[in-house]
Amino acid sequence: MNTCFEGLDGLWGKEGDVDLFLEGPDEIRLYGALREKVGLLICQHQETLEVHGKDSADFLQRMTSQDCLGMEVGSGGPACLMTGKGKLIAFFDLFRTREDAFLLLGQGAWMGKVREHLDLFHFREEMTLGPVQKICSLGLFGKALPGEIPEAGFFQVGKMGSLEVLGLGGWLVPACLLLGKEAELKLFFESFVEKGQPFGGFHAWEGLRIDSRLPRLGVDADESNIPLEVRLDPACHPEKGCYVGQEVVARIRNLGHVNRLLCLLCGESEELPMKGSLLFDEDLEAGRVTSAFRVPGKKEVHMLALLPRVLAAPGTKLCLGNEAGPSFEVKDPAA
C-alpha cells in the first residue's frame, strides 16, 4: 500500500497480491465525472521498465509490434510482444522519452515477464534494460481534460510543473497519468479534492477500461489470443515489418479476418457476471464473459466478452447464463 494516500476515506483492499485503493467516497458522482467532466483515480496497479542506450530503438523495433524507429521523442503508442505464431506474450504502452530511451508502462505482475522476454534476446546491443519499477500515479480522465492538459487523449509525454505527464490514447475519454515523487502527487491530489472534484481507485479504472473496450492482460486476453482478436489493432503498426509475429498479423489484415472479437455488452442483471459466465444466442452458446462491472447505483451491468465475429456487430442481443437469462446488447464504446 502506498503510504502517500494511506488513510483516505474510501475502500481499500487487495487485487491479487497487491494492496490498492479500490473506491472513493462517492462512486456515483465519480462515474459521471470520469465520462463527462474530469475525475481522478489513484493508480497503484502499474509498473514501468526503462530501456535506454544507443541501440534501444533498433532492439525494440525488432522485438515489439510498434514502430519504435519512427517514433518521435515525446510520443508513444501501444505495443505487443508476440510469439512467432502471432500469439500474445504481453502488451503495454511505450513512450520515447529521449532519443536513446524508452519507457514501457504496463500492468503490475506482467512487466517482469516483459523484461525477462526482452532479456532473452538482448545480446551485444549497446543498451540497458532497467529494473521493473512499481509506481503510484494519478490518472485523470474526462472530456474537459484537454483544455488543461494537451497531452490527454494522445500518446505523448509532457510536464505539469514538477510532475511528468503520460498521455493515454484509446480510452473512451481523454486520459493521462501523472508521475512524480509521492509528496508532489499528494499535493496535486489535495488541490484537486479541495475543489470538490471526485476521486476513486481501481474499481472505477476497471469500469472505464471496460467501457473503452480495452483488454486487461490475463483477464480479457492471454497467450491464446492474437492481438487483433482483442482489439489491439493500434498496437500492431500497419506499415512496419520484421518483428516477431508480424507475418500472422499481416496475413489476417491482407487476406482474411479473425474469427472472434472482444466486444462490449450492456444490460441489466441482479447478479454481477463472473469471469467465464456463458452467453447464449437463443439456445446456442455464443461466448464467455471476460470482465464486468456494475454502474454505481444502478442495476446496469457492462461487460466484455469474446464473441464469434458474426455476433460482434453492435445491436446484437444475447442472453446471460442461459437462453432465458437477462438480455445484453453489443455496443460500440462511443454509444
pLDDT band at 107 (very low <50, low <70, confident <90, very high): very high
**What is the spatial distance between Cα 6 and Cα 8, in angstroms, rounded to a whole number?**
6
Q: What is the pLDDT of residue 335?
A: 56
Residue 250 placed within a domain = no
Cell of 214: 480495452
Once rounded to an integer, what is the mean pLDDT over residues 10-36?
92
Residue 55 placed within a domain = no
The last residue of one of the domains, among 172, 195, 211, is 211
Kindly tell me if the per-residue pLDDT of 190 is higher than 60: yes
Place of cell 500518446: 155
Residue 80 placed within a domain = no
State the burial class of residue 161 (Cβ atoms within 10 Å of its Cβ: 0-12, 13-18, 19+).
exposed
Can you give the residue range of the structural domain that contains 284?
A: 259-335
| Of the candidates 25, 31, 28, 29, the residue with the CA atom closest to the CA atom of residue 206 | 31
152 in the same domain as 29:
yes
Dihedral, 221, 335, 79, 110 alpha carbons, nearest 10: -40
Number of domains in the chain: 2
268 in the same domain as 200:
no
**What is the spatial distance between Cα 59 and Cα 30, in angstroms, rounded to a whole number?**
41
Kindly tell me if the per-residue pLDDT of 4 is higher than 80: no
Write the pLDDT tens digit of every residue in 191-226: 999 999 999 999 999 999 999 999 999 999 999 999
154 in the same domain as 11:
yes
CB contact burial 212-245 (16+ within 10 A = b; e otherwise): bbbbbbeebbeeebbbbbbbbebbbbeebeebbb
Residue 58 placed within a domain = no
**What is the spatial distance between Cα 178 and Cα 181, in angstroms, rounded to a whole number?**
10
pLDDT band at 240 (very low <50, low <70, confident <90, very high): confident
Give the residue, 143 or 256, on which the prediction is more confident. Answer: 143
Average pLDDT, whole number, for the chain?
95
The CATH number linked to 190 is 3.30.1360.120
Provide CB contacts within 8 A for 1, sequence distance 6+.
12, 19, 20, 44
Q: What is the H or E stretch that residue 57 is in?
A: helix 56-63
Write the pLDDT tens digit of every residue in 159-187: 999 999 999 999 999 999 999 999 999 99
